[in-house]
Every structure is written in structure tokens, then in C-alpha cells.
Amino acid sequence: MRIKSSMAILGLCLAGLLGPFGTAWAAGEVGAKLCVTCHDEEDLPDMSKSAHGFAADARVPDCITCHGPSPTHAKKPPELKDRPRPDRMFIRSYASPVSERNAACMSCHTKDPKRAHWAGSQHENADVACNSCHKIHGNRDKVMNRATQAEVCYTCHKEQRSQVNRLSHHPVPEGKMTCSDCHNPHGSVGPKLVKRDSTNATCYTCHAEKRGPFVHQHEPVAEDCSNCHNPHGSAVAGMLKARAPILCQQCHTPHVAGGVGALGGQSGVASNFSSGKNTVNLWQGRSCLNCHTQIHGSNNPSTSNPTPQLMTR
């Protein structure tokens, strides 16, 4: 009984001498249990539903896993006037170097195959920190919610915000798609952080009917879908970069309606044979897609048509 009473008195003394940490130290508490004696709900919002907040799971990191042991912060040396900060800080005003913050996160998340290509990725090379996108202290991380993920991406990618709000776009504003459906922000072997090895392979995960193979393959399609499409949005239907025939004529020489064999064998110059119409009158505003309907590729086997490729099947 005397021993227990002595320990209780020692605990009270420590509580008085050492401040709010005294009771915790007297009870032998360490880690997060020690931290929360000062950092209450004002500093640490509810994390009970967060992946980092399951206290019953020994695999879940606690405060010192991310912020470091921070011995001088936990127990301020008497010769110092102000309490030193933790070993690692994630608040932007006092943030530690990006490499140190990311190393703390990757000490646990490096086993995830989705982050296998983080080293050397565009975001790492741009000194993007994990906590620049993710919010750890809280139950709701915007970047993990499909409805709000794009808002986080738009803080840096403002051009894409403008594009996705154009008339023709992927259904990102409607909440049916989100950025991570196509991109892996933690690194990729494909261009622009696309999830697959190439832009086309990423597009084909949804647009499988464009994959082929076709008897007559359209070379720009096989090369890269973004040759013709802006994947984030466009003012032209089908998210095309320009309307037809302007888009087509970036590669193809404009067809001359009025050359040999047309309009009585006359040239494209307006004459009595052309009813007053010149070449521009005939093709301007008319879409190549009126005839070339299978623009991604065609299986038309006809050899009688002088231009069978990409025609209606």
C-alpha cells in the first residue's frame, strides 16, 4: 500500500512539474497516447474512420511514425525557452523538406504496386509532397473521394479545369469519372502519368471498339488518340481538337472538287461549267466524315472504290 501511495504521489508531482505530459509519463505512456495529452481535438480532428486512425490495429502508424520520435518536443529541455518542434513537420508554414516528408510516407506505402514508379515520376521531380494532395488528419480526404478528387488536381492543373468545362468532355464534372481513372498520380511508365503503358492502351480500357485490328488502319489512331482528340475536353463534338475538314487537312491535302473528271473536266476555277461555284464553294463546310464514317479503322474489302479505306462498312 505504501508503494502504491508513493507512486501516486510521484505521479502527481510529475504532473505538476512537467505540465500536461506529467500524468502520461507517470503512467508510462508513449507514442500517440503521450501526444494527445496536449494535442487534443482542436489540433487533431476526428480520425476514427481514417485509414490512419484505427488504434486497435498494430499495423497502423502512430504520431511518431510520421513526425519522428521528437524527444526534445515531447520533453522540453529546461534550458530552452520554447518547446522545439517535432522532427518532421507537415504544416506548410514550418514544413520539413519534401524529401523527408515523402520518405516518411513511403516507409509504409512503398509496398503498394500503384506506387512502384514513384521514384523519378513527374510529381516527384516537381517536388510535390504527399501532403500537398492528401489530408491525413481527418476522416475525409478529398483526393480519395471520386466526387471531389478533381478539385485537388485542379489546384495545379488549371488548364485542365478549363478544358473539362467545355461543351464536349469526359463526364468528370458529372462525377461519373475522375482523374485517377486515366492517370496514376504516383507514377507510371506511360506518358502523362497514364495508367497503362501508352495513351491508346489507357483509352482502350473504355473504348475497346476502337482497338481493332482493322483491314485498313488509320495511322494517327494507331499512333496516339491525342493526335485528334483532347482527352480533357473541347469545344468541338467528340472532343476533337478541330472540326472536320480542318482537322483532317492538317495531315491530308485538301481534296479539289473540280479537278479532272469533275464538273465537265474543268478545273476548280468558277466557270460556265461550274454553275458559278469554285472549289472553295464545293468543299468548304463539308465534313470528311460524311463519307469516311469509320475513321478509326475499316474492314471494307472493296477494291472498286478508288478510296475504300475508312469508308462505311
Tell me which residue of 220, 191, 230, 225 sits closest to 208, measured CA to CA. Answer: 225
Judged by DSSP in three states, 217 sits in strand
- Cell numbers 496536449 correspond to what residue? 38
Q: How many C-alpha atoms does 88 have within 13 Å on its Cβ side? A: 18
- Scanning the structure block, which residue is given the C-alpha cell 488536381? 153
Would you say residue 248 has pLDDT above 80?
Answer: yes
Q: Which residues contact 175 (CB under 8 A, 6 or more apart)?
A: 146, 147
Mean pLDDT of 288-296: 86
HEC sequence for 238-265: HHECCCCCCCHHHCCCCCCCCCCCCHHH
Is 9 exposed, middle or buried (CB count within 10 Å of its CB: 0-12, 13-18, 19+)?
A: exposed
pLDDT tens digits along 249-276: 888 876 654 444 444 444 555 455 555 5
SS3 222: helix
User: Counting Cβ atoms within 10 Å, is residue 310 exposed (0-12), middle (13-18) or buried (19+)?
Assistant: buried
Residue with cell 504521489: 9
The beta strands (E) that lie in 119-273 are given as 216-217
Tens digits of residue pLDDT in 52-73: 876 667 777 888 889 998 999 9
**For residue 213, cis peptide bond before it (omega within 30 degrees of 0):** yes
Structure confidence at residue 212 as a pLDDT band (50, 70, 90):
confident
Model pTM score: 0.76
Confidence class for position 42, pLDDT limits 50, 70, 90? low
In one-letter notation, the amino acid at residue 17 is L
